[in-house]
C-alpha cells in the first residue's frame, strides 16, 4: 500500500494585542436565558412586589404593636387589660389573615403566565 499524504494548507496566525482579542467562550445557558427572559423578569418583579408587601405589613404591624402596648399601660384594672389584649389579638388575627390572602394573590400572579404579545 502506498503511503498517501494529504497536503494541509497552513494559514498564518494574525497576532493582535491582548486588549483587542475577544475571548471565545461559549455559553451553554445563553439560549435558555434568552428564551426565558420574560419569565425571569416576571418572577423578579413578582418577588419585588412580595418583598414590598411584607415590608409594608411588618411596618404596619410594628406600629399596631406599639399602640397596643401603649393602650395596655393605660389600663387600671385586670378586666381592662384583658379587654385590651382581646382587642389586640382579634385585630392581629384579622390583619394576618388579610396579609396571607394578599401574599397568596401576589404569588398566584407570578405563577400564571402572561400571554405573549400578538404577532403582526
pLDDT tens digits, one per residue of 30-77: 666 666 777 778 888 889 999 999 999 999 999 999 999 999 999 999
Confidence class of residue 7 from pLDDT cuts 50, 70 and 90? Answer: low
Helix H segments across the chain?
30-35, 37-73, 78-111
Distance CA 90, CA 68 (A): 12
pLDDT tens digits, one per residue of 90-111: 999 999 999 999 999 998 888 8
Count of beta carbons in the 10 Å neighbourhood of residue 99? 17
Distance CA 32, CA 18 (A): 30
Domain positions in the chain are: 52-111
Amino acid at each position: 500500500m502506498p503511503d498517501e499524504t494529504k497536503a494541509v494548507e497552513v494559514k498564518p496566525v494574525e497576532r493582535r494585542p491582548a486588549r483587542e482579542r475577544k475571548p471565545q467562550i461559549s455559553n451553554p445557558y445563553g439560549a435558555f436565558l434568552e428564551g426565558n427572559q420574560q419569565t425571569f423578569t416576571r418572577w423578579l418583579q413578582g418577588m419585588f412586589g412580595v418583598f414590598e408587601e411584607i415590608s409594608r405589613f411588618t411596618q404596619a404591624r410594628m406600629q399596631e404593636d406599639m399602640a397596643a402596648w401603649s393602650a395596655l399601660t393605660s389600663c387600671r384594672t385586670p378586666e381592662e387589660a384583658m379587654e385590651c389584649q382581646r382587642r389586640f389579638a382579634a385585630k392581629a388575627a384579622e390583619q394576618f389573615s388579610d396579609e396571607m390572602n394578599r401574599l397568596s394573590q401576589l404569588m398566584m400572579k407570578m405563577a400564571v403566565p402572561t400571554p405573549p404579545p400578538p404577532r403582526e
